[in-house]
Amino acid sequence: MRTFWGGLLIGLAVAVLVAAAAVTYEVYDTRTLKRTVRRGEVLCGVNTGLPGFSIPDDKGNWSGFDVDFCRAVAAAIFDDPSKAKFVPLDANERFKELQSRKVDILSRNSTWSMSREQNYDLYFPAVAYYDGQGFMVPRSRKLESALDLSGSKVCVQDATTNALNLADYFRANNMKYEEVKLNRLEDVVNAYDSGKCDTFTADVSQLYALRLKLSKPNDHDILPDLISKEPLAPVVRQRDDDWMMIVKWTLYAMINAEELGVSSKNIDEALKSKKPDVMRLVGNEGSFGEDLGLSKDWAARIIRRVGNYGEVYERNIGSESALKIPRGMNQLWNAGGIQYAPPIR
């Protein structure tokens, strides 16, 4: 009998230890790069469909600013941007799916905030796009400022920072409004387009993109006011520093490349450069790639396969796109903007 109970107690102790180890692994996951290499692809969480940022065509081919960033990570690791696989996620599920390892990285117009890092155990490695929340209204309302919006019926997506910013703005300016809050972005757009609300609030980049989906895009204006800071960034899990470093320096390599004048069009010439900054970028000097667990030419792969930051911006949301969003704050620091990357040295 003693042997039986002793064995049972030992079995229970082992079960507790296994469960504890499983919980520890769930929290302290440091194997993303190894799993990604073994799998042969990067799993990337993206918006379910936002023109210019992440949207599939009728054949399931994805394109956009956020999509290209994931392809850049795949290029750095595999020298093949097609190794990025896209998983569409709604706003209310994006962080939980990243936590549960359904995706390796979230590149989905997500605002970096303290509470999101703390509450979800996530990192926002670097700002990919500096944005701010704004308002879109029918041109027939003839409004010039967000301060003219008192009494408006405002459509906003739930489970985003936009709803809180909306409440703060109207309260701070002693204005009244009626909130129409919906879970799905598609439902918010349809509600505004059908006249269930007379104002639509979201990040300005979203408003430019979503205006294209309206039945009469040219009948709507985006007001000039910004009511918040919305630093949009890729997201990874905490306590996985190797993976976080790869994601962060993928973006910084693209920004540095634009600053140095290195693009997909002249990468072959850049590989012959004797300029120290360029030599370090393309892998001809130093061991920066190896230090990340990648190849020496990791940044050159990104630039050749996907392009520098400016190329990706203009192609998807800037002057070469249907959105034509001005660079604004996302211009490089030496050209009047605030986009800035630490040097590779």
- Per-residue confidence (pLDDT) for residue 31, from 0 to 100: 87
Measuring CA to CA, which residue among 100, 121, 97, 95 is closest to residue 110? Answer: 95
User: Structure tokens of 3?
Assistant: 């042997």
User: Structure tokens of 74?
Assistant: 């795949």
Contact 283, 299 (CB under 8 A): yes
Give the separation between CA 130 and CA 319, rounded to whole angstroms.
17
**Which residue type, as a one-letter code, is found at position 118?**
Q
Give the separation between CA 23 and CA 17, rounded to whole angstroms.
10
Name the residue with tokens 């930051």. 309
Q: What is the mean pLDDT of each run of 10 residues along the chain (345 residues)?
A: 53 47 47 96 96 96 98 98 97 94 96 94 97 97 98 94 95 98 95 98 95 96 95 96 98 98 98 98 98 98 98 98 94 97 97
177 CB neighbour count, 10 Å cutoff: 19
pTM for this prediction: 0.85
